[in-house]
Amino acid sequence: MFTCDEKSTPETCKKADIAFKNAATIVENTFDLKVPIAVNASFVKLCGTFIKCAVGQPEPLGAAAPSRLLPIKDNTDGETRLFPQALVKQLQLPEHPEFSPVDIVAGFNSNSDTFWFRGDPPIGKDQVDFEIILVHEFLHGLGFITSWDDYFNVNASSLTPTPSFIFTNPEETDGIKEGPITFTGFQEYILDRHLVLTKDNSSLTPIAKKINGFAPLNTKFDDQKAFLDAFTKSPVYKETEIMFKNSITRGSVAIRLVDGENVLIETGLVPFKPGSTFSHVDFDAFGNTTDFLMRFKAPRQVTLDDLSPINGDPEYTNPIGPKIISIFKSLGYPMKENSSTFKIISNQNQDSLTKSSQNSNKTKLTTEQQQQQQQTNNAFTITTNTLLLFLSSFLISNLLL
């Protein structure tokens, strides 16, 4: 499902649409999807609608996340973790919690002049290939996210997995729920299963368990403040502070691959950057490697047609690198063999795009064309409110700057 806001020109919307199809093709040729995945992708003004943006900071290029994370008992160790819906579909379990109609929600900033599209003049030094951004964000939506974050403090100082609560008697003001809560545990995501401390390759799961030991499951609290008071005073709270320290100490945490190799994750940003820290691979370790894609910052002046300036290997044409493929495989996704040389070949769509954009510069659209565009806009437009409702149920933790 593709939404393009009316402020973008029809030409830009068409270019964005082609880019979405190409990014989907890259995913389809890397993942051996057993069940189709539905993506709700929007090319809109992100700030103030999709997400809150900090004043004076550069606007994010895109944001994406699974539309729903489902609690599933993990067969490998019997722990229950939150799985992205797209993955649960591939597992084809006999029973599963209810699915949302879409699997991935993604938004891209139409307000940005950073994007480079196929058919544009040669890419500038500050521009990023829109298709590279799309593939990066789709991978977050497919499950490249961790639960470890600071959910309680304005200035991050303590990390936990995602806390979950049930409101026993919710009163709602401005969309924020209040009232008595039942604490239902800090929940790990599926990727968290593979996180280790590099000092001794020990798993983070026992730390998550220790933090969970703060109160028995289903403990009731008068309100969120009462929960927080009890939590910060509990002896396990120091574990969350140690985890925070790890998150700002470069090289301290890694995703451990099945072959025993460690893929460092981003713990080198000081101060802690929500959305960037922990949910990406280490920036410096993966520059000029085939696994450049999941670093927190998008590569400038590099196009999918020639990745060699960023991945260092002209033979490896897929933006999704071997380590990232190995990570998704260990999450449980069926992956295609030999996808390393997959490459998008510019097709007739692009030729016709170039022609039509040349025409549109010279001639006005015919009434029929205008009507067609109107219909397309109507068919794909959803209001900002719907988007907010859609997104309010989870933390968008993956901004690509």
Residues in touch with Zn ion (CB under 5 A): 398, 400
Residue 274 beta carbon to Zn ion: minimum distance, rounded to whole angstroms: 12
Residue 228 beta carbon to Zn ion: minimum distance, rounded to whole angstroms: 29
Residue 73 has φ and ψ, to the nearest 5°, of -75, 125
The amino acid at 189: Y
Q: Which is nearer to Zn ion, 380 or 394 (CB)?
A: 394
Q: Which is nearer to Zn ion, 135 or 400 (CB)?
A: 400
Q: Which is nearer to Zn ion, 89 or 273 (CB)?
A: 273
CA separation for the pair 131, 12 (Å, rounded): 14
Q: Which is nearer to Zn ion, 224 or 276 (CB)?
A: 276
Residue 101 beta carbon to Zn ion: minimum distance, rounded to whole angstroms: 24
CA separation for the pair 8, 247 (Å, rounded): 38
Q: How many other CB atoms are there within 10 angstroms of residue 39's CB atom?
A: 23
Task: Verify cis geometry, omega within 30 degrees of 0, for the bond prior to 271.
Answer: yes
Residue 278 beta carbon to Zn ion: minimum distance, rounded to whole angstroms: 11
Q: Which is nearer to Zn ion, 311 or 398 (CB)?
A: 398
Answer yes or no: are the C-beta atoms of 135 and 319 closer than 8 Å: yes
Using alpha carbons, select from 129, 137, 133, 134 the residue that is nearest to residue 305: 129
Residue 138 beta carbon to Zn ion: minimum distance, rounded to whole angstroms: 11
Answer yes or no: are the C-beta atoms of 39 and 104 closer than 8 Å: yes
Q: Which is nearer to Zn ion, 109 or 398 (CB)?
A: 398
Q: How many other CB atoms are there within 10 angstroms of residue 112's CB atom?
A: 18
Residue 295 beta carbon to Zn ion: minimum distance, rounded to whole angstroms: 8
Answer yes or no: are the C-beta atoms of 44 and 3 closer than 8 Å: yes
The amino acid at 178: E
Across the chain, which distance is largest between two alpha carbons, in Å?
A: 71
Residue 46 beta carbon to Zn ion: minimum distance, rounded to whole angstroms: 14
Q: Which is nearer to Zn ion, 183 or 278 (CB)?
A: 278
Which residues have a Cβ under 8 Å from the Cβ of 339 and sit 6 or more positions away? 29, 30, 318, 320, 325
